[in-house]
Amino acid sequence: MSDPTTGAPAADWPLYEVFIRSRSGLEHKHVGSLHAADARMAVEHARDVYTRRQEGVSIWVVRSADIVASDPAEADALFEPARDKVYRHPTFYAIPDEVKNL
């Protein structure tokens, strides 16, 4: 576990994020993460860690370091512009009850 010269813990294998398609026809969904030496091992470990009860028919793994994410601190600035645009939803429009199929 430790580096014999420095006593520091050995470096971890890279971290991978795991995405599973639970059934054919559904999208892959993030289920968690794991460490693996390479991508192939990440898929094999994902099989053992996340699909022991037939939770999936397909696995994606991606290096966590390769994911670019929005900054939570900027969430307001990023998502606020959509907040006052309720006219983008069908319920914004008042249609008389007697009008059908609309």
Interface with other proteins includes 34 (CB under 8 A)?
yes
The alpha carbon of residue 55 and the mean position of all alpha carbons in its chain are separated, in whole angstroms, by 16
Q: How far is CA 63 from CA 19, 22, 33, 37, in A?
A: 11, 21, 9, 11
Interface with other proteins includes 26 (CB under 8 A)?
no
Per CB under 8 A, the segment of 5-13, 20-28, 78-86, 89-97 that binds other proteins is 5-13
Interface with other proteins includes 2 (CB under 8 A)?
yes
SS3 37: coil
What residues line the site for other proteins (CB under 8 A)?
Answer: 1-2, 9-13, 15, 32-35, 37-38, 41, 48-49, 52-53, 69, 71-73
